[in-house]
Amino acid sequence: MDKIRYAQIIREFSGKNVAVVGDVLLDHYLYGDASRANPEMPGSPLLRVTAEDYRLGGAGNVAANIAALGGKAILYGVRGADHAGEILSGLCTERGLAYSLIPLRDKTLVKQRLIEREHNNYLARVDFGEQTVTSLSKDDEDEFFGMIADEAFDALVLSDYNKGMLLGGLGQRVLDLAAARGKISIVDPKPMNAYLFRRATVIRPNLREAMQIVGSTYRDTESIARRLQEITESRYSVISCGAEGIVLYDGGFHSIPTHAVEVSDVTGAGDTVAGTLALGLASGAYIIDAVTIANCAAGIVVEKRGTATTSQAELSERIIRDIQ
């Protein structure tokens, strides 16, 4: 496929409706100076905070990537009945997302990252809200399913971070709904939950997660990708392999190399792949071409600091520059 056609597919992202269902997180970044010794414990760093930043994480980052690429993201998840939850909803509004974030928890799930600013050194991560993680009740599942069923979507993404939203039967119910409508579905699972999601269009873990799903019997990437597709009964398996790019199994085996220039932060790159894949397939691209475009998008965001997105213009420019 020539570069002009790739660019045309990217333009066709505009206006595509993608329902994103999953675990929504708030990413909180604290940036500062770590040059001063810690007077309380000299062996530990002291970060003097000079700036902070909030971003959408988890399923929220999938939705943010879709919106940044011109699609219409419709985000479904839960948040806490707290100030962090209000920030989360505010970020959704700022990003232009349609969303239903129901405050079913006391605390919003927050991942706070401490970054030494001058050298972009990642010092630590602090997680909040984990003690409030529970599966949805049957009534809450029914409420979410009713909302999703009422929405006209072109593609569906399930973003599982093992934080409760998809630990019951909701994921399979909406996958079956998408299949009944003839719509694309992408599943980004945690290994322990992969059995909850069957017959998706695409199953999309990273290599470490894929190895955990298929078991230690399978060692090479090709056999892992094939077995992953078999046991999840998905049409395609797509595995992110970090610096090695992405592998696709669609009845044949394909390896697509990365196009990142210099990796700054891999946080959320899988979310970018999932969202871009959904847009590509919803725009009529063949799976190999949708994966190639998604791989380029991931290559862009890992060059940026923190949870990041890319735009149609940026992605088209990268496609023109790097795809042979």
pLDDT in tens, 75-109: 999 999 999 999 999 999 999 999 999 999 999 99
| Cα separation, 265 vs 250, whole angstroms | 29
Strands 184-188, 202-203: pairing kind: parallel
pLDDT band at 261 (very low <50, low <70, confident <90, very high): low
List, by residue number, the catalytic residues: 271
Mean pLDDT (the chain) is 93
pLDDT of residue 306: 79
| Cα separation, 45 vs 114, whole angstroms | 10
| Cα separation, 214 vs 57, whole angstroms | 27
Residues in the chain, how many?
Answer: 324
Are the C-beta atoms of 298 and 314 separated by less than 8 Å? Answer: no
Task: Name 126's bridge partners.
Answer: 112
Q: Flag the least confident range among 6-20, 175-189, 211-225.
A: 211-225
pLDDT in tens, 283-298: 999 999 999 999 999 9
pLDDT of residue 302: 87
pLDDT of residue 170: 98
Strands 72-80, 202-203: pairing kind: unpaired
**Span 244-267, average pLDDT:** 83
Beta strands in 229-293 (DSSP E): 236-240, 246-249, 253-256
Query: What are the chain's domains?
Result: 3-25+57-107+132-322 (3.40.1190.20)
Global confidence as pTM: 0.94
pLDDT band at 244 (very low <50, low <70, confident <90, very high): confident
Q: Flag the least confident range among 110-114, 147-151, 174-178, 242-246.
A: 242-246
pLDDT of residue 219: 83
Q: Flag the least confident range among 56-65, 118-127, 203-212, 231-240.
A: 118-127
pLDDT band at 152 (very low <50, low <70, confident <90, very high): very high
pLDDT of residue 308: 87
pLDDT of residue 3: 79
pLDDT band at 193 (very low <50, low <70, confident <90, very high): very high
